[in-house]
């Protein structure tokens, strides 16, 4: 057994680790096994932990989950790119037919904007400024 990084891995563990790294680097992450499963004819990604597969004409919730939003976005963008599509904030939904004929649907979450509440003093100052300007015009 060889030492790899700081851990001892069996050949089986090393193979699994290489598979995970390859799926993340050039594949579609945790969706790869579903894409290779012939009875699955569609995948719908709604969120990191909200993924559905179509099997035998029925939509079923998948147990597959992404680790985080970054992993999900990378997989979605790669899938969309394989059919010449893009997914981003300006085009947050994709409905595509993959090269193997299966359907792929994804909806990415909107960017969260930070709402800054106005300070009461600033709104009072602006209302008094508008009052002053309107009364000075008389």
Q: What's the rounded Cα separation, in Å, for the pair 76 and 108?
A: 9
Q: What's the rounded Cα separation, in Å, for the pair 23 and 33?
A: 10
- Give me the pLDDT at residue 21, please: 78
H/E stretch holding 32 reads helix 32-35
Domain spans of the chain, in order of start: 31-111
Burial environment of residue 66 by CB neighbours within 10 A (0 to 12, 13 to 18, 19 or more): buried
H/E stretch holding 47 reads strand 40-47
pLDDT at 110 over 90: no
**pLDDT tier, 96 (very low <50, low <70, confident <90, very high otherwise):** confident
pLDDT at 20 over 80: no
For the domain 31-111, what is the CATH code? 3.30.450.370
pLDDT at 87 over 80: yes
Q: What's the rounded Cα separation, in Å, for the pair 1 and 9?
A: 7
Out of 22-31, 43-52, 78-87, least confident range:
22-31
């Amino acid at each position: 057994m060889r030492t790899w990084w700081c851990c001892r891995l069996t050949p089986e563990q090393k193979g699994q680790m290489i598979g995970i790294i390859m799926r993340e680097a050039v594949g579609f992450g945790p969706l790869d096994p579903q894409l290779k499963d012939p009875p699955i004819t569609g995948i719908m990604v709604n969120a990191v932990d909200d993924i559905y597969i179509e099997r035998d004409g029925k939509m079923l919730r998948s147990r597959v989950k992404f680790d985080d939003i970054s992993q999900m976005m990378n997989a979605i963008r790669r899938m969309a790119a394989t059919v010449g599509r893009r997914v981003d904030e300006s085009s947050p939904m994709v409905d595509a037919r993959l090269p193997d004929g299966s359907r792929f649907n994804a909806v990415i979450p909107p960017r969260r904007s930070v709402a800054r509440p106005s300070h009461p003093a600033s709104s009072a100052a602006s209302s008094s400024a508008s009052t002053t300007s309107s009364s000075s015009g008389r």
